[in-house]
Structure 1
Amino acid sequence: MTIIWSLSIVFFVSCESAGDKRLDFALEQAGKNRIGLEKVLNYYQNDSLKLEAARFLIRNMPGHGGYEDDRLDSVKAVMKAAVELNIGGYLPDSEWKRKWD
């Protein structure tokens, strides 16, 4: 029984250090947004459940960024082409077009 407890502790400690490494990596990759992410972590430091949720989200952020360049947003590119080409003879009203712009 002692062996099982010892292995469990080693397992959880190793998972914690791997999670910490991923958190550190995510914070390094955040660049100028790091300050904001650290503020979130500090804000939830007294609520262990919310702190772990924030840590989970931050650890999983790398590779899930967004684009500010419309050329990289496939939906906007398709809608822009449809409006410019007036595909299907349908020209959206100005409110609909404003939302997509």
Structure 2
Amino acid sequence: MEFDVYDKIDVNGPDAHPLYKFLKARQPVSTPSDVRTRPNGDIEWNYAKFLVDREGNPVKRYKPSFDPVNMEADVRLVLAGRPPQPAECVLHPGRKVCKVDL
């Protein structure tokens, strides 16, 4: 079995790969956001995650420390053609706007 070998790419700065420029332009702030958000939408660290809809549109961005298990509701919503939960639901899941039927 063979695997493709990929080169290291830049995700921030002037030499950032076009894919990451696109993702960051559409989703400049990671969830949950805080005062330590990087300037210009820069990727904070490895394992930043982007949720992309069926049409290829980035609809939400998650911090590297965000557990992917907690993305399930957003993934189900996006697969159903609905927008993901508001970013505030990460910190305040009990709010009325955060109650969704999957």
User: Which TM bucket (shorter chain)?
Assistant: under 0.3
TM-score if structure 1 supplies the norm length? 0.27
Q: Which has the higher strand share?
A: 2
TM-score if structure 2 supplies the norm length? 0.27
For the pair shown, which has the larger CA radius of gyration, 1 or 2? 1
